[in-house]
């Protein structure tokens, strides 16, 4: 089928590479230097250096032309770019089904991606999310990866999963769009916490405890927002959490490692050079947890660190000083 990827960052480029063998792919970007690299040397040296874009992938700068012939659209921008992209699609009157790979809550509104898209494109639009344990570099390299695809239309989710499923990128349909999105969003916050823990040299025991208790936090918030508890035991929950908390390719984990060195947030983000969604998601998660009366002490501690209200060592001390409770309560 004709597939257009909107956004040529690391993820958009990786997905264009992954889907090119099976589909006719167009990769759109508004960034002149990225487009120039992709056209001249078949490589995204800014966001995904070292990986060749297949010759059959069309690189586009004209948004309207890029989406006009597409049978499926895939938004690969950060969460901050989701609403503006959806608004462009609405202006063009686009009716194609739409997927996205961004993870997080919209800053300010606290809305999940499907709420943002539904608000812009209306209740008749067909859309969903791709999420799960996956680093762009490994997808681009063709290393075995498995992710979930959830949508507002279960039949579309199953059909799209079958069409996009490949030899190296396995895609599993899921009926729980809320749960898949919450898992993908909050795991980034927990990855910052785990990076901080590792940066402080607190050991493997503490890392395992933090990941496990973090999964409980994700599930509590997800269920409160309407997700299914079992979703958080799957690819978009536990799978993505483990990868992002332990993998050295994780940007959010690297933020936590830097926080443990007492670096300032502006310095950390400048050195990172990429968007780390957990930085922006942490504040929204903390606000939602307070609003819904959901106990999320790790996420609250991360938000406090990012806002400069707590140092890394102070955050750990605060968590360890909490009163004991039943594990599964």
**pLDDT tens string 206-249:** 999 999 999 999 999 999 999 999 999 999 999 999 999 999 99
Q: Does residue 227 sit in the same domain as residue 308?
A: yes
Asked if residue 14 is part of any domain, the answer here is yes
Secondary structure (3-state) at 94:
coil
E strands in the chain: 2-6, 24-28, 43-44, 48-52, 58-60, 72-75, 98-100, 127-131, 145-151, 169-174
Q: Does residue 133 sit in the same domain as residue 261?
A: no
- Please tell me the predicted confidence (pLDDT) of residue 143: 98
Q: Does residue 116 sit in the same domain as residue 192?
A: no
Q: Which of 73, 104, 137 is the last residue of a domain?
A: 137
Closest by CA position to 134, among listed 146, 119, 118 = 146
Could you give the number of structural domains in the chain?
A: 2
Secondary structure (3-state) at 202:
coil
Residue 324 confidence class, pLDDT cut points 50, 70, 90: confident
What token pair was written down for 162? 């079958």
DSSP string covering 3-64, please? EEEE--SHHHHHHHHHHTTTSEEEEE-S-HHHHHHHHHHSEETTTEEEEEPPTT-EEE--HH
CATH number assigned to the domain comprising residue 81: 3.40.50.720
Asked if residue 304 is part of any domain, the answer here is yes
- Please tell me the predicted confidence (pLDDT) of residue 329: 64
pLDDT tens profile 170-186: 999 999 999 999 999 99
Asked if residue 162 is part of any domain, the answer here is no
Residue 320 confidence class, pLDDT cut points 50, 70, 90: confident
Q: Does residue 49 sit in the same domain as residue 123?
A: yes
- Please tell me the predicted confidence (pLDDT) of residue 4: 98
Say which of 103, 111, 187, 325 is annotated catalytic: 187
Q: Which of 72, 105, 137 is the last residue of a domain?
A: 137
Q: Distance between CA 259 and CA 24 in Å, rounded? A: 43
Q: Distance between CA 249 and CA 191 in Å, rounded? A: 11
Q: Would residue 187 show up in a list of annotated catalytic residues for this protein?
A: yes
Residue 326 confidence class, pLDDT cut points 50, 70, 90: confident
Residue 309 confidence class, pLDDT cut points 50, 70, 90: very high
Q: Does residue 204 sit in the same domain as residue 119?
A: no
Q: Does residue 187 sit in the same domain as residue 266?
A: yes
Q: Does residue 214 sit in the same domain as residue 309?
A: yes
Q: Does residue 214 sit in the same domain as residue 95?
A: no
Asked if residue 326 is part of any domain, the answer here is no
Q: Does residue 225 sit in the same domain as residue 112?
A: no
Q: Distance between CA 20 and CA 162 in Å, rounded? A: 16
- Please tell me the predicted confidence (pLDDT) of residue 114: 98
On average, the pLDDT of the chain sits at: 96
pLDDT tens profile 44-54: 999 999 999 99
Asked if residue 160 is part of any domain, the answer here is no
What is this structure's pTM?
0.95
Q: Which of 113, 137, 161 is the last residue of a domain?
A: 137
Q: Does residue 187 sit in the same domain as residue 271?
A: yes
Note down the domain range covering 44: 2-137
- Please tell me the predicted confidence (pLDDT) of residue 123: 85
CATH number assigned to the domain comprising residue 287: 1.10.1040.10
Asked if residue 170 is part of any domain, the answer here is no
């Amino acid at each position: 089928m004709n597939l257009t990827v909107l956004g040529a960052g690391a993820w958009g480029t990786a997905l264009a590479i992954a889907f090119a063998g099976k589909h006719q792919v167009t990769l759109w970007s508004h960034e002149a230097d990225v487009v120039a690299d992709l056209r001249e040397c078949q490589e995204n040296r800014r966001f995904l250096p070292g990986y060749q874009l297949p010759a059959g992938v069309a690189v586009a700068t004209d948004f309207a032309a890029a989406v006009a012939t597409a049978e499926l659209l895939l938004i690969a921008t950060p969460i901050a770019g989701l609403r503006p992209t959806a608004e462009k699609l609405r202006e063009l009157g686009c009716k194609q089904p739409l997927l996205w790979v961004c993870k997080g809550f919209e800053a300010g509104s606290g809305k999940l991606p499907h709420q943002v898209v539904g608000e812009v494109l209306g209740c008749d639009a067909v859309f969903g999310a791709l999420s799960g344990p996956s680093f762009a570099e490994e997808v681009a390299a063709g290393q075995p990866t498995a992710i979930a695809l959830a949508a507002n239309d279960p039949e579309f989710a199953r059909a799209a999963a079958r069409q996009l499923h490949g030899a190296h990128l396995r895609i599993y349909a899921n009926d729980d769009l809320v749960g898949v999105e919450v898992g993908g969003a909050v795991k980034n916050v927990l990855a910052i916490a785990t990076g901080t823990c590792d940066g402080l040299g607190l050991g493997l025991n503490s890392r395992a405890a933090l990941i496990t208790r973090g999964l409980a936090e994700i599930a509590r918030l997800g269920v409160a927002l309407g997700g299914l508890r079992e979703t958080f035991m799957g690819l978009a929950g536990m799978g993505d959490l483990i990868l992002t908390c332990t993998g050295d390719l994780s940007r959010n984990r690297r933020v936590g490692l830097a926080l443990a060195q007492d670096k300032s947030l502006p310095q950390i983000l400048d050195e990172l050079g990429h968007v780390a969604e957990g930085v922006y998601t942490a504040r929204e998660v903390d606000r939602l947890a307070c609003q819904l009366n959901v106990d999320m002490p790790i996420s609250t501690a991360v938000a406090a660190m990012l806002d400069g209200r707590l140092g890394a060592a102070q955050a750990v001390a605060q968590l360890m000083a909490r009163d004991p409770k039943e594990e599964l309560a």
